[in-house]
Chains A and B, each alone.
Chain A
């Protein structure tokens, strides 16, 4: 499985934008980039995913490099509730069927008031 590399931890101030990087230099052409996050004492929750183009939803934006070897999750205005571990996951595409979620260590985001 293609691997991802994320910083262990990041800090942000409340109401400021946060850019969470993810390197995936061995990504294959059909791998999707998924982001999940895990709030303290909760199960992981889906944030966003993309293949080649940048993606936006109500939670975040995903910026994907042109060569797809890296991506950045963007939280436009961090709130205290965004403090969580963020996981960047590559999901292999087996002829249209999605591979399993393989969680790495993720980035622990702290948000200061």
Chain B
């Protein structure tokens, strides 16, 4: 399997522009997670989906952020308008399930998208 695929790997944009990050989870995985990593705040969960349905978006910073999962093999995280404080590495992860203690809840992370907002 190719693992979790994210694009683009690097994005540089100007303040006020719309940014769209993309993720393709591992085939067959029912859960998809979006994380953000910064030096100040570390790794934070933004939102996660189960069977394409958003379950918990309590980590989404504000209304400028939105995430969608139109089908089982694709998700987007959109920032509109972008601000310099959104600069971070954004990771997508997927897992087979969420059953406590089993191996199905192991999360597999993509390589991340490094976003720089000037």
A and B are interacting partners: yes
Q: Is the CB of B98 within 8 A of A97?
A: yes
* B100 adjacent to A104 (CB under 8 Å): no
Q: Does A51 contact B (CB under 8 A)?
A: yes
Majority secondary structure, B binding face? strand
Cα A91 to Cα B45 in complex, Å, equals 14
Nearest residue, chain A, Cβ from B110? A43
CB of B54 within 8 Å of the partner chain? no
Q: Which residue of A lies closest to B105 (CB)?
A: A98
Q: B99 touching A97 by the CB < 8 A rule?
A: yes
Q: Is the CB of B109 within 8 A of A32?
A: no
B100 pairs with A102, CB closer than 8 A: no
The residue that A43 contacts in the complex, of B56, B100, B105, B112, with Cβ under 8 A, is B112
Residue B101 lies at the interface, judged by CB distance under 8 Å to chain A: yes
- A102-B45 CB under 8 A given contacts A43-B91, A43-B111, A46-B107: yes
Interfacial chain B residues near A42, Cβ < 8 Å: 109, 111-112
Q: Is the CB of B42 within 8 A of A96?
A: no
Listed in ascending order, the chain B residues whose CB lies under 8 Å from chain A are 4, 33, 42-45, 48, 56, 91, 93, 98-101, 105-112
Please list the 10 inter-chain residue pairs (A to B) with the smallest Cβ-Cβ separation, ordered nearest first. Answer: A43-B109, A103-B43, A93-B100, A98-B105, A46-B106, A98-B100, A98-B98, A43-B91, A44-B109, A97-B98
- CB within 8 Å of B: which residues of A? 30, 32, 42-46, 49, 51, 91, 93-94, 96-98, 100-105
Given contacts A44-B107, A44-B109, 18 further A-B contacts (CB under 8 A): A32-B100, A43-B4, A43-B111, A44-B91, A45-B108, A46-B106, A51-B101, A91-B105, A94-B100, A96-B99, A97-B99, A98-B101, A100-B45, A100-B48, A100-B56, A101-B33, A101-B107, A103-B44
